[in-house]
Amino acid sequence: MHKRLLSFFAWALFAFNHSIVAQQQDNYEFADSLVNYYVPDVLQYADAVYKPNIKTVIFSPKGRQLLPPIIPLNGKDQLELIFDELDADEQFYSYTLVHCTWDWQPDALTPFEYINGFTRDDITNYRNSFNTFQPYVQYRLTLPNSSMQFTKSGNYLLKVYANDDPDDLILTRRFIVFENQLAIINPQVMTSGINNYFDTHHRINFSVSYPASIVNNPLEEIYVTLMQNGAWNTAISGLKPLFIRKNELVYNYIDQTLFPAGNEYRFFDTRTLRVQTERVRNITQNNNKLHVYITPDLPRSPQLETGKRTMRVNFVDMNGRFQIGVNDWGFTFLDADYAYVHFSLQLNEPIADGNVYVYGALTDWNLLPQFQLHYNYQNKAYEGMAYLKQGFYDYQYVIQRDGFTPPDASLTEGNFIMTENDYQILVYFRSFINRFDRLVGYSLINSRR
């Protein structure tokens, strides 16, 4: 009798716990569907998504999805936009381009001055997913194309909108078109000249050579921007040269071109949902919703005295980017499913003066509410989840300090001089007779090469 009672209570306890877990998962999914994370109703001159059912936006040179959207003017390269719309039939989407200043404001040009062909067009390439729990329609667009070509170098904003209404925004994406005909860039990645940053920061030294016959006043006509791994929200802009040689601007600063070196990115692999992979602890299914639990992470900064942490990792990463695909029956975009990916960062106590976010290309290099983690006192960890498509993802944990916008990874990831990063140098030029900023120089340099 006692054995039967014990067996009954054990079964009841298991059923209760299972129902609690299932209910929590349902609550997470319900909350995720209700929260309006996509607040911007007005146009942003930045990478943004304006509708909650738009997912997995990829914008890169065609065939090279690990590179930022930067291509030469009048070359053979094309940019490719890919995005999914969940739970919907085919929609009527259009797109247009906006030419911008070096600091991402709309300039004085009309569309006819920087576009050859139609100034707006429709997205006609779309296909439905197959063999997935989550139905979606995938849209693709290449630029330039037979209907639309850009005629000027510089900064561009791609606008995608619905119902033939430019104010009914779906998404926006920044991209860059460059011409290497005016400026010659000589870059170098160095250690910091400041002792406190010697082991933790990269310093970008470079010079820009230009023809005196075209540039009359280089201090007023040339603008420079530096980026780390293609991320705009940590870019350094508005630099003035340290000194000027004959037809050459020299930017050999001690402190103004410093970037935190960071750490190699963490990763997880959901290209299969049948078995656990290296960093996937558990996979469950509830009401045709898939849940993937990543192995709990530890902080990697020597600043954090938690008693348990990992330090710098030494493997080849994708510098924060991701690749979509399925390993079970092919590497395609249309049979990749969606899953709720659960993150956990173990900390003995919550951070008093900031919030913790998952960060990388999967968040558009932004601090998004749907990627914010919340502290669980019982598990002593920051936890959260995001609805992501199957693939191989890089990510980091960053902190947004109270009162400060830039993401800070120094406490959660650490900064190590041997970390590998890509750095982009952009040189803009506007003479006194021009009405727009040309991108006349572009250089990509890696910290290990």
Taking only the tens place, the pLDDT of each residue in 97-142 is: 999 999 999 999 999 999 999 999 999 999 999 889 999 999 999 9
Taking only the tens place, the pLDDT of each residue in 176-213 is: 999 977 889 999 999 988 888 898 999 999 999 988 77
Helix (H, G, I), strand (E, B) or coil at 245: strand
Taking only the tens place, the pLDDT of each residue in 71-98 is: 999 889 999 999 999 977 888 999 999 9
- Please report the beta strands in 212-256, taking only residues with DSSP state E, as ranges in sequence order: 222-228, 231-237, 243-245, 248-251
pLDDT number for residue 393: 95
Tokens of 362: 């999967």
82 membership: H or E segment, kind and range: strand 79-86
Residues with Cβ within 8 Å of 402's Cβ and at least 6 positions away in sequence, in order, are 353, 354
Q: Report the relative pairing of strands 338-346 and 289-294 from DSSP bridges.
A: parallel
SS (H, E, C) 17-80: HHHHHHHHHHHHHHHHHHCCCCCCCCCCCCCEECCCCEEEEEEEECCCCCCCCEEECCCCCCEE
Start-to-end CA span in the chain (Å): 74
Q: Rounded mean pLDDT of 238-257?
A: 90
Taking only the tens place, the pLDDT of each residue in 18-73 is: 443 444 444 444 444 434 455 566 889 999 999 999 999 999 999 898 899 999 99
The position carrying tokens 């004085």 is: 108
Same fold? 48-178, 184-261+422-446: yes
Give the pTM: 0.86
Q: Has domain 184-261+422-446 been given CATH number 1.10.357?
A: no
pLDDT number for residue 111: 95
Residue 15 has pLDDT above 50, yes or no: no
pLDDT number for residue 226: 96
Residue 7 has pLDDT above 60, yes or no: no
Domain boundaries, the chain: 48-178, 184-261+422-446, 268-397
Taking only the tens place, the pLDDT of each residue in 396-424 is: 999 998 877 788 898 899 999 999 999 99
Give the whole-angstrom CA distance, residue 124 versus residue 121. Answer: 9
Its CATH architecture, for the domain 48-178, is Sandwich (2.60)
Residue 263 has pLDDT above 50, yes or no: yes
Taking only the tens place, the pLDDT of each residue in 284-341 is: 988 888 999 999 999 987 665 444 545 556 567 899 999 998 886 655 778 899 999 9
Tokens of 23: 């209910």
pLDDT number for residue 406: 81
pLDDT > 70 in the chain, percent: 87
pLDDT number for residue 88: 74
The position carrying tokens 């039967």 is: 4
Taking only the tens place, the pLDDT of each residue in 145-179 is: 999 999 999 999 999 999 999 999 999 999 999 99
